[in-house]
Amino acid sequence: MTAPPAAPGRLWDPGYRLRLIGVVSLVTVVAVEAMAIVTIMPTVEDELGDIYLYGWAFSAFSLGHIVGTIVGGRSADRMPLLVPLMSGLTLFGAGLAVGGVAPSMWVLVAGRTLQGLGGGAVVAVAYVCVGRGFPESLRPGVFAVMSTAWVLPSLISPLAASLVADAFGWRWVFLGLIPVTAAVGVLGVRSLRDLSRPVDHDLVPDQAHVLAVVRLAVGTGLVLAGLSTDSVWLVMLAVAVGGVVALPAFVSLTPPGTLRAARGLPAAVITRGALTFAFFAADSFISLAITDARGSTTTVAAIVLATSSFTWTAGAWIQARRAESWGPSRLVALGGACLAVGLVGYALSLWPAVPLWCWGLASATCGLGMGLAYAPLSLVTLAQADPDRQGEATSSLQMTDMLGNALGAGIGGALVTLGATLGQAEWVALAELFGVAALMAVIVAVLAPRLRAPDRSVVA
């Protein structure tokens, strides 16, 4: 195993350059796929039908991502990194192939599940590579570059996917990503092979661990299925049953004390879920709010959404420069506060008297908050995890990340559906949604002081 240079050096020094490119390429290929598929899904539904499965094309990816993250991250602790990496890329590519030839929406959903499994494993391995391949002083910069890797896909992928779908058909969006995935696999093998380590048989998951992963996926699926119905009683039943199934599994798959936000690593894991819940609960409904509640255009909505991508990246670079002097706690508290202000701005912008440009201002504030808070939680996780169990810790972090994303969007949809059932004006339900998201952002800021390690001084 080749060790990193003795001195920390700089991020783009020869000793780190290829490794950084490899890690970023893994994140980028998943980002490109996510943005491209979101763009073409209306066209896919027009051909395959079954509109009731439209949401499941995304929920299936989320559930698969959760399982892939846990299995991939923990596998990285017990076997050479290239094994879970290549397994994840293979599943990802297989899912793209299934999606590209899908004769029905059900088959497409199955393909999206495979994509989620593979994508979750790939992202988990990428986080482990950051922990093993870069000294602590350079990790803020690595995460800033990884955040930047999401910006280009958010700008290019939707347009490219639309052009390909118009010229050749939507299936070639799926199929065209297969050679891209293969190229990333080749680059990953070349750039990350020196981070492999011997198998640690003590970390092989037992049957109870495997069952916990399955219970978490099934329970979360029940919750999401319930939230997608228009019956209040079915929502309550599905959420209750799903919670009973998923909650014990979640506890067993996260660091002890996660639910009570115990200081250090557990607080970082639960705070990450609250952060993504707050942001994506609102972000999933921005387009609806601007086009329906305010009567504007999808172009305006696209500009507003792109604004948060830019400021997220700006926030990520600010935290990279200030991580050592400010510390994770201060950055996360500031990020949570910015996010809360931006979410309140969304709610106020529903009022017709408020200029449309205020949506962009609110979006910019939300993106800045995410950029400031997101990466420091990863830094806390890597700094406080046992070096031999970084995959386990980062998989827990990514799992709550995806859970927050999925549950935020699901609960947001439930609030909008409930509002319609009760005969509320659409802006009322959306205002309630933005209010719930803002409250969760406040919780993020409140939890920030608990990121300080109880026994270590390496985390501020």
Q: Could you state, in order of their start, the residue ranges of all structural domains in the chain?
A: 11-204, 206-253, 260-460
Domains 11-204 and 260-460 equal at CATH topology level: yes
Q: What is the mean pLDDT of residues 174-190?
A: 88
Mean pLDDT calculated for residue range 264-288: 88
Query: What is the rounded average pLDDT of the residues 51-70?
Result: 77
**pLDDT at residue 436 greater than cutoff 90:** yes
For the ranges 250-259, 392-401, 449-458, the one whose mean pLDDT is highest: 250-259
Of 378, 406, 386, nearest to 123 by C-alpha is 378
First to last CA, the chain: 31
| CATH code, residues 260-460 | 1.20.1250.20
- In this structure, of 31-40, 215-224, 340-349, the range with the lowest mean pLDDT score is 31-40
On the question of pLDDT at 45 being above 80, the answer is: no
Q: Cα separations (Å) of 271 from 59, 78, 288, 414, 456?
A: 22, 27, 27, 23, 19
> Does pLDDT of 25 surpass 90?
no
For residue 111, pLDDT over 50 is answered with yes
In the structure, what pLDDT confidence band is assigned to residue 269 with cuts at 50, 70 and 90?
very high
Q: Report which residue type is found at 364.
A: A
Select the more confidently predicted residue: 8 or 311: 311
CA contacts within 13 A on the Cβ side of 205: 19
What is residue 457's predicted lDDT score, i.e. its pLDDT? 42
pLDDT band at residue 350 under the 50/70/90 scheme: very high
Task: State residue 54's pLDDT score.
Answer: 65
pLDDT for 321: 86
The pLDDT of 381-398, averaged and rounded, is 76
Q: What is the pLDDT of residue 132?
A: 78
The pTM for the full model equals 0.76
Q: What pLDDT score was predicted for residue 226?
A: 81
pLDDT at residue 40, rounded to an integer: 78
CA dist 3 → 132, 133, 135, 197, 226 (Å): 9, 8, 11, 12, 49
pLDDT at 424 > cutoff 50: yes
Task: Tell me the two tokens of residue 365.
Answer: 């504030």
The pLDDT of residue 455 is above 60 = no
Tell me which CATH homologous superfamily contains domain 11-204: MFS general substrate transporter like domains (1.20.1250.20)
Q: Which residue has the higher pLDDT, 220 or 57?
A: 220
| pLDDT tier at 394, thresholds 50, 70, 90 | confident
Maximum pairwise Cα distance, the chain: 65
pLDDT at 434 over 90: yes
pLDDT interval class at 178 (50, 70, 90): very high
Q: How many residues does the chain have?
A: 460
Q: Label residue 365 by pLDDT band (50, 70, 90).
A: very high
Radius of gyration of the chain (CA): 21
Helix (H), strand (E) at residue 272: helix 265-283
Structure tokens at 8: 């920390």
Task: Indicate whether 2 pLDDT > 50.
Answer: no
How confident is the model at residue 339, as a pLDDT? Answer: 97
pLDDT given for residue 164 in this prediction? 86
Phi, psi for 217 (deg, rounded to 5): -65, -45
The overall average pLDDT reported for the chain is 82
CA–CA separation, 3 vs 8, rounded Å?
12
* DSSP H stretches of helix in 284-425: 286-288, 298-349, 357-384, 390-421
pLDDT for residue 410 is more than 80: no
Q: Which of 165-179, 220-234, 332-346, 401-415 has the largest mean confidence?
A: 332-346
